[in-house]
Amino acid sequence: LSDIIGRKAIGSTGAVLVAVVGTILYFMGKGFLTSPFVLIPFFFLGMGFAIPAQVLGVFFSEQFPTVVRATGTSTALQVARGLSFFPPIVAVYLFDATGSYSIVFLIAVVVALIEAGYFWIFRETKGKDLIKIDEEKLKIGLDSIGTESKVQR
């Protein structure tokens, strides 16, 4: 599916789903814990987190020329894995400091909206010949975020 409609669209759709469900959970407050329907929003929240995760490996690899693609992708994924300890610590601290789950969901909404926007900043190779992309990079160079600054996307 990501090869047909693109990784940008799929990744940002998942992030927007997280933002929508996070907003719902934010306004539900602590009352959602006693609701018999508590699993419904969390099902969609899980889907929202899973959708972008399915395209990130391929999306990261598209940011690097083929000669360093494996190294670049591995580095990006390992840095992300290494920093993944941080959000749960922040969430626990915020819950402890405020006594409310709502602030955690509010921050998740903000982060999800930022993520949705970031998918559209980086390049995507959907429907493009990789040899031509590498040739263009050799001619013009690669800017700091892995996108061609002189070639129209």
Residue 91 predicted with pLDDT over 90: no
Q: 93 or 127: whose pLDDT is higher?
A: 93
Place of tokens 């602030």: 103
Mean per-residue pLDDT, 128-141: 66
pLDDT band at 129 (very low <50, low <70, confident <90, very high): confident
Instruction: Provide the CB-side half-sphere exposure for 126 (13 A, CA).
Output: 15
DSSP string, 92-137: HHHHHHHS-SHHHHHHHHHHHHHHHHHHTTS---TT--HHHHHHHH
Per residue in 56-77, pLDDT (tens digit) is 777 777 777 777 878 888 888 8
- pLDDT-derived band at 139 (thresholds 50, 70, 90) equals low
What phi and psi values does residue 125 have, to the nearest 5 degrees? Answer: -100, 15
Distances (CA, A) of 109 to 30, 54, 124, 143: 17, 20, 25, 30
Whole-model pTM: value is 0.69
Give the rounded percent of residues in the chain with a pLDDT score beyond 90: 6
